[in-house]
Structure 1
Amino acid sequence: MGAVGSVDIELDLIEWLQAKAGPSIVVRDEVDNNLLAELPTIQVQRIPGGGDDGFRVDWALVDVDVYAATRGEAIDIAKTVHGWLITELRGSQTDRAVYGRITSSPPPAIRPYENTGLRRVGAVYQIHSHPVS
């Protein structure tokens, strides 16, 4: 939870990324036991950290994981998502939020996952936003 006037960053990013990714990729906040049947999947989660100004500006830390059947597919999708967030979302506006500075640290990289039937690539983004009104 950010500032009183902050945006539900997970919901906004899930909707924005789903529109960019199209129907062949699932974008969600949580993964479940059906993950193998829903590949590729992009998982978006706000994680502890970041902050706000107590009024309207929020700087969220958002973890974005890509799950896919192969390492190459997971890397390709993660790079595409990285480009969307860094170049297209930055400086744009959705129905809910105005987005400013967006950085990633670390950038997309392979992350271990216990299920050997899929591959996982993830990154952490710091995303500055404020509500539209």
Structure 2
Amino acid sequence: MIDVEAALVAWLENNVAGVHASTETPSDLDDRLPWLQVVRLGGPYDGFRRDQPTVDISAFAATGPAASDLALQVQEALHTQLWGATTGGAVFSRVETRTGPHKVPYDNPALRRYEATYAFVIHPA
């Protein structure tokens, strides 16, 4: 089974200018903005080739408009560049926005967070 989080982290860092991405947020997040966090929520797998992961992608920035813009930039890139592409050993044969970018509270008042949920259909290259 393909590690969709690792594939997306690498793809986002290579295709969204000026961002860092990972599955975790670093302790010094406010010094490393802008940041994207990628977390698989679940999704069916056929046990052979076809995986259908659901993934949250959170965009962190210093201001609300910057976080919103980053989240929208990610959404556009996923739909226009990732759909049909091969990355991290995976073919991304479908990209769907399940919940569009929206503001999510965050514990650090110096940061703003926008999040969106995506569904993918992937299989090994």
The TM-score by the shorter chain falls in which range? Answer: over 0.9
Query: Which blocks of at least 5 consecutive residues in structure 2 are unaligned?
Result: none
The residue number in structure 2 matching 1:3 is none
The residue number in structure 1 matching 2:65 is 72
Correspondence 1:10 to 2:5: yes
The residue number in structure 1 matching 2:99 is 106
TM-score by length of 2: 0.95
Query: Which blocks of at least 5 consecutive residues in structure 1 are unaligned?
Result: 1-5
Percent of aligned pairs with the same residue? 38
Q: Which whole-Å CA distance do the structure 2 matches of 1:29 and 1:107 have between them?
A: 19
| Alpha-carbon offset, residue 21 of structure 1 | 2.0
> C-alpha root-mean-square deviation of aligned residues, in Å?
1.1
Length, aligned pairs only: 125
Aligned partner of 1:127 among 100, 108, 120: 120
The residue number in structure 2 matching 1:84 is 77
Aligned partner of 1:45 among 20, 25, 39: 39
Aligned partner of 1:20 among 15, 19, 36: 15
Any runs of at least 4 consecutive aligned residues in structure 1 with deviations exceeding 4 A, and if so which?
Answer: none
| Alpha-carbon offset, residue 53 of structure 1 | 1.4
Q: Which whole-Å CA distance do the structure 1 matches of 2:88 and 2:105 have between them?
A: 35
Which amino acid letter does the alignment assign opposite residue 107 of structure 1? G
* CA deviation profile, 1:5-55 (whole Å, cap 9, x unmatched): x21101111111100123x311111013211111110111111x3111121
Which amino acid letter does the alignment assign opposite residue 112 of structure 1? P
TM-score by length of 1: 0.89
